[in-house]
Structure 1
Amino acid sequence: MQIAPNLTALLAGASAVLAFAPYSLPLFALLSPALLWLLLRDQPPARALLRGWLFGLGFFGAGVSWVYVSIHTYGNASVVLAAALTLAFCAALALLFALQAWIGARWFSGGHAWLGFIALWWLFEWLRSWLLTGFPWLYLGYAWIDTPFSALAPIGGVWLLSMLSLLLAGGAVEALLRRQLVPLLPGTTLALCALLLPNHWSQPAAEPMHVAVVQPNVPQLMKWDPDHLSSILDQLIGLTEQQPEAELVVWPENAVPALYHRIADRLAPLLEWLETTNTTLITGLPTATRDLNNPERVLYHNSLMALGEQTGLYHKHRLVPFGEYVPLEAQLRGLIEFFNLPMSSFSLPQRNLSPLRLGRHEIASAICYEIAYPELVRKSALSAELILTVSNDTWFGRSIGPDQHLQMARMRALENGRWVIRGTNNGITALIDPKGQISARLPVDETGVLRGSVTPMTGQTPYQRVGAWPLLAINLLLLGLRLLRVGAARKHDGAAAAGLNN
């Protein structure tokens, strides 16, 4: 076993975490994939498989280490068990990098193989956006949000920025090894184009609107304790009634830890106040509906509900495995306490609901994990003028998870040319402008209300119009051409060998 290259693969993968928030060092979005390509170049499939897996283990082991916090602290798993489950999760995700590396070595070797490496990486990022409900985390493109290259996001989303990273990284390795400048041309051309692109794709659709986002900072261990329900509601109502000028008040994901019918009487005075002040309240809370296929069965949803001046309901479309539903529930439920987390029996909506609105302005909604899905948010924002996302990142403590989550919300604002209102239980609560910049935020782990203005926006970015399909087609075409070329070369070599034998 080649210890040094394998250790380098592990460390190269782990180094990628430095490209993302809170570190935000975009150089590592070049260095990490460049090292992987250097380690895979001209390697046999078996060796590439191992190095790809080790790279993925480092990549996810460092990048999503925050999973440990929710398993250990809030799932009450021991240190050893929580570490083992986190390692198993990261090792399973690393199989995607292993498969990516093996496919590259098996079918896309030879001249210009680096283009196959780029296309495969991009396609596997895209694959992670939907495979087994998806895990769209740690896309290379997020690293560029605070650079001039971010102008590419409204054109092709985070996907195009990932492509930029890969072209620059792979091209740099090839240019150094070949001592030629040609491999640098695709990446540098795309980078230069970013500097020439317009930076206004959307326009105000109305005057700025006053919003107030409540950050209650309720400890996770007391949130679902029925004994604390009354005090939680008192706090939320008290903070809300201090915002008479707000046109919209936002409470975070599952801010109300009870079904609506249980607290309707308690909220009645607040609803009267909302109507008097012409204020809309949007809150996260669990809701229940009858199963359309079996009316005797009740389905529970992680929802957003609008009350007051406007009314409406939104159910979450992308559920977090083990956090909001338990795969193989009959086998796993009750096995360990982690599989019995509060509200881990949510269901997907069975029908489409009308979008939430603020006055005559439509709001695209995303609950927690959903903001990480570029295509999901793009589609919901096509006709919307604002984007609202609520979350409860208390599950991840003071880890890097909440910072990464906020960075993705910023990218969604930039991709869609819309203001994003982000409400959380304990941070990071923020208002994000259409260029992905934070206009206001609250400190983490503090109770407070974020007051500010957001502007409904109209107009569509190129990415909103077409999504990831152009890049998907380009990368599939690139792989197809590489496959034909490699096949022709092997056929020629086979024919030449047969001629020599004759």
Structure 2
Amino acid sequence: MPEARQHAIPPLQSRLARIALLLVAGTLQTLTFSPFDAWPLGPLSIALLCWIAWYLPSGALFRTGWWFGIGLFGTGASWVFVSINTYGSTSLPLSLALTGLFVAGLSLFPALTFWGWGKLAGPDSIRRLWLLPGVWVIGDWLRGHVLTGFPWLYLGTSQVSGPLAGWAPIAGVHAVTLIEVATGAALFAAYRAYRLQQRKLSGGLVGAILVVWLISPLLSRIQWTKPESQPISFVAAQGDVPQLMKWDPKFLSRQIKDYFHLTEGHWNKDLVLWPETAIPLPQDDAGPIIDDIRQLLGPNTTLVTGIPWHTYSDTGQDIYHNSIMAMGDGSGVYHKQKLVPFGEYVPLEHWLRGLIAFFDLPMSEFTKGPAHQEPLTVGAHKVMPFICYEIAYPDFVAHNAEHTNYLINISNDAWFGHSLGPLQHLQIVRMRALETQRYILRDTNNGITALVGPDGQIEERAPRFVQTVMTGKLYPVTGLTPFMRWGSWPALIIGLALIVLARSRKLGPESS
């Protein structure tokens, strides 16, 4: 191959420069998420990764993915530091060390993805561009399922207000991610072809990108679900209970009184919603509180609240669930299935309990609830609740939302203070609303409490870090989106097809 073709885009010679740009690429992806919402940086970060990886031997791609992961999770998941340091009673040096271990561990996922990318592509750098969208999506899916999964910072989530939003109800966040990664790879390939005077190839790649992006606004006009004519009136109470007081028995009475006070004047709404563990003691100890609530509720009102749930195993051992229950003109109890490591249960508990205060957080002995739980009944409607972190799992939400009219998400994001975590959490809620084309009513302890419409846009929002209520109306819907029928399988099948196709034929000459 002529020298000009080999170096149409000059390679980076400095290893330190490569590491710096990989960190930049990861940080650029963080900037695509809330509160920055700079979604155009997503494809740009992918194009930057392609430039760096184009010239590297396959063996170096593991380190490439790891450094990229450090940039992404070191900035985008930095909110774990607040939980460890501020509320885990852990010293600053140890908090930094634990946060560093968390980021380094998460970075193994992109590292292994890039390693597999290199193994599959071999020395054929053209094949690398073809393979990248497929291996990226498979890697993201695995990250959301291995162990408890970490389905956070999926690049496609940044498009909830972007031009690709129309694809979300059809094939979900992983399909949107696949399009973004393919766009970045195609942009790099188009620029390289342009530098090599391959104008038709360059124009064809840009044209293909534009077609996929321009179709999306047309898809956004399709209404896959049908709203009912009569709205549901609601009130969502935000207690703003300081996290350090949350489980202190001395402040139990104050918390309950605050929620009763906030709900005063709203007991006749169709739905009264209180956040995660708003009643901070198990149901078998909360009988008098529950009786008082039932007496105040209007005849057509349902109150839904977070509450710990105590039961016993077959052997008589105590079992606690992080739960949500409905009472009044509704019924049902749901036990959280997707537990947060260390916050709700401690992995390797036999070795870690008692080492440091962070491994002994209050209520960190929850048991996950059973699969296939029934929705809550709220008046005449079926409503699926999701507690905190559960809303981040796209297929889990889509599957459980099938026979429901709207969704509820309760959370206690006080664990993350003023960090990026709560803002990213709300953006994830918006993507789930868009994928299912259902209203999601979200109530949190100190924000962000919001009503998200079926188009993924925020219709009501309460101020953060104050005691307040959010009132409004939402419309129950019927029907299913294609994503609810198929889940992420179309995106995964396309990803696997790209891998098979790239491996089955020679796509281009080797280059350096």
Calculate the TM-score normalised by the size of structure 2. Answer: 0.92
SS in 1 for 2:47: helix
Structure 2 residue corresponding to 1:270, chosen from 290, 293, 299? 293
Q: Which amino acid aligns with 2:210?
A: T
Indicate if the aligned counterparts of 1:205 and 1:385 stay in contact, CA closer than 8 A.
Answer: no
Summarize deviations over 1:457-502 as a string: whole Å, max 9, x none.
0111111111111111111111012122259999xxxxxxxxxxxx
Q: Secondary structure at the match of 1:249?
A: strand
Residue of structure 2 in register with 1:395 after alignment: 415
Aligned-pair distance for 1:202? 1.1
> What is the Cα deviation at residue 51 of structure 1?
1.6
Cα contact 1:210–1:245 (8 A) shared by 2 = no
Please say if 1:140 is aligned against 2:155: yes
- In the alignment, structure 1 segments of 5+ residues that lack a partner are 491-502
Aligned to 1:212: 235
Q: 1:382 to 1:117 in 2, by over 3 A?
A: same
Alpha-carbon distance, 1:29 to partner: 1.0
Contact conserved, 1:10 with 1:55, CA < 8 A, in 2? yes
Q: Tell me what 2:178 maps to.
A: 163
Which residue of structure 2 aligns with residue 461 of structure 1? Answer: 481
Report the counterpart of residue 265 of structure 2 in structure 1: 242
Does the residue aligned with 1:142 lie in a helix, a strand or coil?
A: helix
Q: Which residue of 2 aligns with 1:256?
A: 279
The answer to whether the Cα contact below 8 Å between 2:88 and 2:357 also exists between their aligned partners in 1 is: yes
Deviation at 1:9, TM superposition (A): 0.9
Contact 2:268 2:300 in 1 (8 A): no
The answer (yes or no) to whether the contact 1:42–1:105 under 8 Å persists in 2 is no
TM-fit CA distance, 1:160: 1.9
Report Cα offsets for 1:337-396 as digits up to 9, x if no partner: 000011111111246443201112111111000000000100011111100000000000
- Point out the more displaced range, 222-231 or 189-198: 189-198
Rounded Cα–Cα distance in structure 2 between residues aligned with 1:282 and 1:30 = 41
Shift of 1:147: 2.3
Q: In the alignment, residue 296 of structure 2 is paired with which amino acid?
A: W
Cα offset, 1:244, TM superposition = 3.2
CA gap of 1:332–1:281, structure 2 versus 1, over 3 A, is same
Q: Distance in 2 between matches of 1:351 and 1:374?
A: 16
In the alignment, is residue 280 of structure 1 matched against residue 302 of structure 2? yes
Counterpart residue number, 1:359: 379
Which shows bigger deviation, 216-225 or 157-166? 157-166
Q: Quick check: 1:323–1:341 contact (8 Å CA) kept in 2?
A: yes
Offset of 1:264 from its aligned partner?
1.1
The answer to whether 1:327 aligns with 2:342 is no
Number of the residue aligned with 2:9: none
Q: Distance in 2 between matches of 1:487 and 1:471?
A: 22
8 A contact 1:208–1:453 mirrored in 2: yes
Q: Deviations over 1:16-58 (max 9, x none)?
A: 1110000000111112122112111141123222121111111
Q: Which amino acid aligns with 2:100?
A: L
* Paired residues of 2:58 and 2:118 also in contact (CA < 8 A): yes
| Letter of the 1:135 counterpart | F
- 1:338 is matched with 358
**Given that residues 190 and 203 in structure 2 are in contact (C-alpha distance below 8 angstroms), is that contact kept between their aligned partners in structure 1?**
yes
Who is 2:6 aligned against? none
CA distance in 2, matches of 1:177, 1:451: 54
Between 5-14 and 328-337, report the one with greater CA deviation.
5-14
259-268 or 17-26: which moved more? 259-268
Q: Is the 8 A contact 1:310 1:359 kept in 2?
A: yes
Partner of 1:35: 48
Q: CA deviation at 1:299?
A: 1.2
Out of 413, 420, 438, which is 2:440 matched to? Answer: 420
Q: Which amino acid aligns with 1:55?
A: F
What percentage of aligned pairs have identical amino acids? 41
Paired with 1:250 and 1:196, the residues of 2 have a C-alpha distance of: 36
By how many angstroms is 1:207 displaced?
Answer: 0.6
- Judge conservation of contact 1:206–1:457 (CA < 8 Å) in 2: no
The one of 171, 175, 199 equivalent to 2:190 is 175
User: Match of 2:254?
Assistant: 231
Letter in 2 for 1:141: G
Instruction: Return the match for 1:191 from 213, 235, 251.
Output: 213
Partner in structure 2 of residue 13 of structure 1: 26
Q: Structure 1 residues 328 and 181 mapped into 2: Cα distance closer, same or farther (>3 Å)?
A: same
In structure 2, distance between residues paired with 1:264 and 1:352: 27
Q: Give the TM-score normalised by the residue count of structure 1.
A: 0.94
Report if the CA contact (8 A) 1:40-1:105 is conserved.
Answer: no
Query: How many Å apart are 1:121 and its aligned residue?
Result: 0.8
In the alignment, structure 1 residue 2 sits paired with structure 2 residue 22: no
Seen in structure 2, the aligned counterparts of structure 1 residues 181 and 312 have a Cα distance that, compared at 3 Å, is: same
Structure 1 residues 39-54: aligned runs within 5 Å: 39-54=52-67
* Structure 2 residue 103 is matched with structure 1 residue 82: no
Name the residue aligned to 2:4. Answer: none
Which residue number in structure 2 is paired with residue 200 of structure 1?
223
The question of whether the paired residues in 1 share the 8 Å contact of 2:238 and 2:449 is answered with yes
- Contact 2:391–2:428 at 8 Å: present in 1 too? yes
- The worse-fitting range, judged by mean Cα deviation, of 425-434 and 186-195 is 186-195
Please state whether the residue corresponding to 1:325 is helix, strand or coil: coil
Counterpart Cα distance in 2 of 1:83 and 1:319: 23
Query: Larger RCO: Structure 1 or Structure 2 (Cα < 8 Å, ≥ 6 residues apart)?
Result: 2
Kept in 1: contact 2:437–2:455 (CA 8 A): yes
Aligned in 2, Cα 1:141/1:488: closer, same or farther, shift over 3 Å? closer
Question: 1:89: how far off?
Answer: 0.6
CA distance, structure 2, for counterparts of residue 142 and residue 351 of structure 1: 26
Please give the secondary structure, in 2, of the residue aligned with 1:153: helix
Counterpart residue identity of residue 430, structure 1: A
Partner of 1:125: 140
Of the three residues 79, 96, 100, the one matched with 2:113 is 100
* Equivalent residue for 1:91, pick from 104, 107, 110: 104
Among residues 370, 392, 396, which one is paired with 1:372 in the alignment?
A: 392
CA contact (8 A) 2:284 2:310 kept: no
Cα distance in 2, alignment partners of residues 127 and 206 from structure 1: 41
Deviation at 1:254, TM superposition (A): 0.7
Match of 2:460 among 440, 446, 450: 440
Count how many residue pairs are aligned between Structure 1 and Structure 2.
487
Structure 2: gaps of 5 or more residues: 1-13, 195-201
Instruction: Report the residue type matching 2:306 in the other structure.
Output: G
Shift of 1:186: 3.9
